[in-house]
Amino acid sequence: MRSICLFCGAAAGASPRFAEAARALVAELVARNIGIVYGGGKVGLMGVVAETALDSGGRIAGVIPEHLFDGEVAFETLEELHVTQSMAQRKAKMAQLSDGFIALPGGLGTLEEFFEVLSWAQIGLHGKPCALFNVDGYYDRLIAFLDHAVERGFIVPRARALAVVESDPESLVARLVDTTPAAFDRWQSSK
Ligand code: AMP
pLDDT tens-digit readout, 92-150: 999 999 999 999 999 999 999 999 999 999 999 999 999 999 999 999 999 999 999 99
Cα distances (angstroms) measured from residue 154 to each of 31, 71, 124, 183: 39, 37, 18, 19
Q: Which residue, among 102, 113, 107, has the nearest Cα to 25 in the 3D structure?
A: 102
CATH topology for 8-12+15-177 is Rossmann fold (3.40.50)
50 neighbors 38 (Cβ within 8 angstroms): yes
- Indicate the angle between helix axes 108-122 and 87-97, nearest 10 degrees: 60
Where residue 127 falls (left for φ over 0; alpha for ψ -120 to 50; beta otherwise) is alpha
Q: Greater confidence, 181 or 9?
A: 9
Whether residue 71 is predicted with pLDDT greater than 90 in this model: the reply is no
Averaged pLDDT score across all residues of the chain: 93
Mean pLDDT of the 53-76 span: 91
Ligand 1 pocket test, pick from 49, 108, 120, 132 with the greatest ligand atom count within 8 Å of Cβ, gives 108
pLDDT level of residue 188 (50, 70, 90 thresholds)? low
Mean pLDDT of the 67-79 span: 86
82 Cα: distance to centroid of ligand 1 (angstroms)? 16
109 Cα: distance to centroid of ligand 1 (angstroms)? 3
pLDDT level of residue 83 (50, 70, 90 thresholds)? very high
Buried b (16+ CB within 10 A) or exposed e, 146-163: beeebeeeebbeebeebb
174 lines ligand 1 (CB under 6 A): no
Whether residue 181 is predicted with pLDDT greater than 80 in this model: the reply is no
Q: Which residue, among 141, 60, 68, has the nearest Cα to 94 in the 3D structure?
A: 60
Distance from C-alpha of 175 to C-alpha of 166, rounded to nearest angstrom: 9
10 lines ligand 1 (CB under 6 A): yes
pLDDT level of residue 68 (50, 70, 90 thresholds)? confident
For residue 41, which atom of ligand 1 is closest to its CA? 10
Q: According to the model, what pLDDT value does residue 34 have? A: 97
110 Cα: distance to centroid of ligand 1 (angstroms)? 5
